[in-house]
Amino acid sequence: MILEFYLAASLPLFFLLVFLEGGQRRVLAFLVWGLTAGVISYYVNYHLYLALAASTLLPEVTMAPVVEEFMKALPLFVLLLVFGRRYSKELLVLAMASGFGFAILENYVFVTHFALEGAGAIAYAVMRGVTTSVMHGCMTAIIGFGIFLTYGFSRRSLPSILFGLYTVAVMIHALYNLLVGHTGVGRLLAIDLPLLLFVLLLVAYNWDVLFPKPAEAGE
């Protein structure tokens, strides 16, 4: 059903893309890519789970973050490495849109998988909406914002920076998946982590507004 949901969700958005321009089109395009990344990651993870079923690995902790973070951030890598395109801090928003697109599809998979009903289903959906979904958005946003921050660096070190930022996202994602699967303080920390990261990214994105330079503040 996941492919059907993906097609039903993304095809109307393609029609909307025709009417949009500039920044709006880019944000929606990244959201649609996030949905696409969700489908691709689902099938890749599924086959990896089957291949590693007999091993002692925990695929959701050790494999899924590697696949998912790569798929979500792929357009960022392509834009920079292939086309050499440069964006402003808008890159954070675009990256976050990709992460949220991914989360929409993943939420559909989990909500239908557990087949909950009534208040339990609503509570589960809300919980995923404010934790795992935000985590997916923030992880890709970290890569996008990191790329923006390193614009001044030489092109030679760009591959290192991209890979490094990717590993940062994978590490936090893996730590989140590990902690959220357990009880106690670790789980509480994992639940709070996405919202904390979201606030930090929000502050970083609006840094110039929150802390204007003296000349700007005097105007």
Partner 1 sequence: MNVAGSPRFADTLLRGAVLALFVVSLGLLGAVVLVRGTMPAAYTDIGNATQLVASGAAAATAAWSYYRRGPDMLLVHGAFAAGTWTLANAFWYAYFILIGEGLNYPTVADLGFAGVFLFLIAGLQEGLARNRLSVLAAVPIALPLLGAGLGLVAVLGANAKTLTTLVVFTLSAALLSSALLRSAHRHPVLFAATVVFSLTHILNSLDSTLPDPPWVTNAAGALAAISFSLFAIAYLRHAGGEPA
Binding footprint of partner 1 on the chain (CB under 8 A): 55-58, 61-63, 65-66, 150, 152-154, 156-157, 159-161, 163-164, 166-168, 170-172, 174-175, 178-179, 182, 186
Minimum CB distance to partner 1, residue 62 (Å): 5
CB-nearer residue toward partner 1: 101 or 194: 194
User: From the CB of 146, what's the least distance to partner 1, in Å?
Assistant: 8
- Residue 104 or 190 having the CB closest to partner 1: 190
Q: How far is the CB of 47 from partner 1 (least distance, A)?
A: 17
Shortest Å, Cβ 49 to partner 1 = 15
Instruction: Give the other-Cβ count within 10 Å of 47's Cβ.
Output: 10
Nearer to partner 1, 68 or 106 (CB): 68
Helix (H/G/I), strand (E/B), else coil: 213: coil
- Give the whole-angstrom CA distance, residue 24 versus residue 13: 12
Residues contacting residue 195 through CB under 8 Å, at least 6 positions apart: 130, 131, 134
Name which of 5 and 186 has its Cβ closer to partner 1.
Answer: 186
Nearer to partner 1, 104 or 141 (CB): 141
Q: Which of 9, 10, 140 is nearest to 72 (CA)?
A: 140
Shortest distance in whole angstroms from residue 36 CB to partner 1: 23
CA dihedral 142, 177, 136, 118 (to 10 degrees): -150
Q: Which uninterrupted H or E stretch holds 97?
A: helix 90-114
DSSP string, 167-212: HHHHHHHHHHHHHHTS-SHHHHHHHHHHHHHHHHHHHHHTHHHHS-
